[in-house]
Structure 1
């Protein structure tokens, strides 16, 4: 089977509950996990796949089911949350639907603790974390095949969930397998405490994870990539820069991971991208066995509309007409009509205007056709749900992290190597190569925009470069103003959702909300 299947058998489920009500809810299954694993230790593969699936799917029984009580199955999956909070709140992408809180994201304005889209991501993280804790507790006294590797993968998934809590909310509670089952509400953990915990976990599991693993599962490079990203943003998260540490681990990813740049940029965002040599860690989608309105179906269908496009060309059967890029993204390429950069061709311009004078008007701004459900190298039949995997981590990002760390003065790298990596990315895109004098922080943030926008990084990048809040860098509809306006510094963090505050009196709201 070409892809890891995300199993949804009821006996393998770890429980369905409202994570804001009780982080330690015991699993409700016909056969306990401990009993199941005692009878069949090999069942661990299906159970762990459920944990992986929590980052890609909404629930156990198809796209209309939800793991989390009261959270909409279509709106609340993890990847959809990342795109909403990382890309639509930033400069390059906007959404026109205005669904009860989505307007506030796309215009970076009027944020508060009642916005359901903040709750969705917070809940998804605190759904995944106790599931991991529960399984780790059970595995302590059981013998299963490759136990160290399996526990390493579970700890990686828990760390990945915590990473997004650190990045988006800045604090939470530190729920682990050591305090699993505690009845009293957990104490609030600071950003520094969460950072230290994730760092220690990723360092601890490095030896347990394999050099290679099945497609869609964590290996050493996947864990190292997450650790490098944690260190890359350490100055934002903790006040202390860790660029040398970021460089150390991203160098391991590059030199030891056996990944190579995909010769075709578009392949990584097409229906057959599971064969790409560049993708380090994907969130798996399958049009038949892992259907979701929240995986790349959201990116593909949301960017298409029969009013101006032929959606079947992109492997879709429905166009939702929601997402368009702004000139803050496609303007990075200069004149799209004359640019040789292949990435500049991934915008639909016919029938659309360059300026987004009304973000709710479909024809204002250029839709991105970066993601598509059609195969890159072969013909394919349109399907209702996308089968395109989402490249959460890929090698070009690692190259750009290396270059950024070098420019920021990290020890252990070289400018010549950084320049080589950046020019390999640009050469792949048929863009003009740069010289060492061009390799500045301003260039890097723009190149990250050209290469990585719509992949869930942009808000974090803009914050790290000091461009997200304030008025030094403006983009269309920033602060709910056509040409952009200054936004307050507290917007570097999202508000803690109201339901989480109500469920745990130890939690406090982020400043400014």
Structure 2
């Protein structure tokens, strides 16, 4: 039986200048935004929340907010990989180098996005524990256990060590620290204990916004697939891989399946693929990549012109190497750029997927930069600094166009900030099952091709290697928070890629424990290499 704990983050005020072992006079005073600060409950015990169900709703919203931003969790999961890069364009997106440090793996323990992610995840664990320790319904407690396991999964995955505190311990006591393998066991226990009291889950937008047996099974499959990483083993264990298969089979038995119409999956409509979606605005998935002059009726200010992909990631997809117009032989998941010269192309305006070369307005007019030059995105990015407004292919899965909104049939580009961000998807589960079967020695070719046949113009593969499988996951799941996790599992996270000078440093598979956390809890030990 696992003990119930409650997290409190100790609040102390220290100035770095007062610590002789450190070499800078940077002020590291911990403020209330740095961690969750609570009054001591030592002695009197935890009284419980007055309305656990309401607190659970607040926690869902908090998690959605943490995962909707372009910084923090999204930045650590995607911008540190080969799929996304944020080059500095003139003075835009310089931001004191925070984006460049992520791409080049030269971050430090004081990186703002690392600190914010650590704090946000641990705050969510604490709030979930509060709900669990209160007198709520069995389902409320089960959903809180799922959310605690979800947030602890990312602390374990990103940082290794997980701080934790007993329920009746006050802030004067330093939090205990779970090792990575201990955190794995805790997450597994939370999910297994929650399972009986969660609703079954089935496809449909009214169901997939909260925790279900299906979403718990998905998260269990994810931890089992990565179990050898978290337990420090050299190779996966067949028993864990079989557990992956079993979890995915249980999800499939509830009616989830791969669905045709790739980009439709990311609209706020019913589909068979979405297992769990967050109540999170998708605006940052749209506007951070689009140019300032690409807009919609409800966002005439245009995009933010930051995020791009690397040429080598674009080249992983089938199709013409230097264009992406309709009919260029591209597979469905690479999307398309509208082509006004094609009489059959009525999809004028912002395209889908990978936006390369000349971009167009909804009336077919070729767009221009703010300097009056053609708004044409070249594939190559020459440098992380010194760029113009246009370098780099842009990526867009969620779209300003929302077919569910009929307020103005003449202007379908509306409701661009809808709150529906897909996080757990059956195509991911299907590929996890294929990978688990491959790691147990089976031929996963047909399983992967089963997915590819539902993605238009995506030809069958003749065989599957590990490289084929991680490439397939990249093509299917780009900008869905899983690229870093995949690269680590396949041993490629520290490999070289364009504009990344630091390579081969295996200490980068974990982020540093933030400096403020180390100051507040001496039980924490900094990860190697920092």
TM range (shorter): 0.7 to 0.9
Shift of 1:494: 0.4
Does residue 57 (structure 1) correspond to residue 65 (structure 2)? The answer is: yes
Partner of 1:348: 355
Does residue 279 (structure 1) correspond to residue 280 (structure 2)? The answer is: no
Could you list the runs of 5+ residues in structure 1 that have no partner in the other structure? Answer: 1-16, 38-43, 59-75, 286-294, 480-484
Partner of 2:288: 302
Partner of 2:177: 188
- Listed one character per residue, the Cα deviations across residues 321-370 of structure 1 (whole Å, up to 9, x for unaligned) are 11111123211014444333011121111201111113453422101122
Bigger CA drift: 85-94 or 199-208? 199-208
Report if the CA contact (8 A) 1:356-1:365 is conserved: yes
Could you list the runs of 5+ residues in structure 2 that have no partner in the other structure? Answer: 1-30, 88-92, 336-352, 359-375
Partner of 2:310: 326
Shift of 1:299: 1.3
Q: 2:460 aligns with which of 403, 409, 434?
A: 434
Partner of 1:425: 451
Q: Distance in 1 between matches of 2:284 and 2:64?
A: 11
Q: Distance in 2 between matches of 1:171 and 1:196?
A: 13
Secondary structure at 2:513's aligned position in 1? coil
Partner of 1:363: 390
Partner of 1:89: 80
Structure 1 residues 174 and 206: alpha-carbon distance in aligned structure 2, compared to 1, 3 A threshold:
same
TM-score normalized with structure 1 length: 0.78
Report if the CA contact (8 A) 1:463-1:492 is conserved: yes
Secondary structure at 1:94's aligned position in 2? coil
Q: 1:246 aligns with which of 231, 244, 247?
A: 244
Q: Distance in 2 between matches of 1:36 and 1:130?
A: 16
Q: Distance in 2 between matches of 1:340 and 1:452?
A: 17
Secondary structure at 1:57's aligned position in 2? helix
Q: Distance in 2 between matches of 1:268 and 1:313?
A: 23
Q: Distance in 2 between matches of 1:301 and 1:81?
A: 17
Secondary structure at 1:138's aligned position in 2? coil
Report if the CA contact (8 A) 1:113-1:495 is conserved: yes
Report if the CA contact (8 A) 1:317-1:383 is conserved: no
Shift of 1:105: 4.0
Q: 1:48 aligns with which of 53, 56, 59?
A: 56
Q: Distance in 2 between matches of 1:77 and 1:179?
A: 33
- Listed one character per residue, the Cα deviations across residues 227-286 of structure 1 (whole Å, up to 9, x for unaligned) are 1101111111112423222222122222x231132321111223xx2423211011113x
Partner of 1:257: 254
Q: 2:265 aligns with which of 248, 262, 268?
A: 268
Secondary structure at 2:423's aligned position in 1? strand
Partner of 2:435: 404
Secondary structure at 1:451's aligned position in 2? helix
- Listed one character per residue, the Cα deviations across residues 466-499 of structure 1 (whole Å, up to 9, x for unaligned) are 1111xxx4321223xxxxx524111000011111
- Listed one character per residue, the Cα deviations across residues 171-193 of structure 1 (whole Å, up to 9, x for unaligned) are 121246x4565640112221111
Partner of 2:32: 18
Between Structure 1 and Structure 2, the one with more helix by share is 1
Report if the CA contact (8 A) 2:402-2:413 is conserved: no
Structure 1 residues 354 and 226: alpha-carbon distance in aligned structure 2, compared to 1, 3 A threshold:
same
Secondary structure at 2:308's aligned position in 1? strand
The structure with the larger Rg is: 2
Bigger CA drift: 79-88 or 390-399? 79-88
Does residue 203 (structure 1) correspond to residue 192 (structure 2)? The answer is: yes
Q: Distance in 2 between matches of 1:299 and 1:277?
A: 22
Q: Distance in 1 between matches of 2:165 and 2:312?
A: 39
Secondary structure at 1:368's aligned position in 2? strand
Bigger CA drift: 46-55 or 99-108? 99-108
Report if the CA contact (8 A) 1:304-1:319 is conserved: yes
- Listed one character per residue, the Cα deviations across residues 184-222 of structure 1 (whole Å, up to 9, x for unaligned) are 011222111111111111122122211028341000010
Secondary structure at 2:193's aligned position in 1? helix
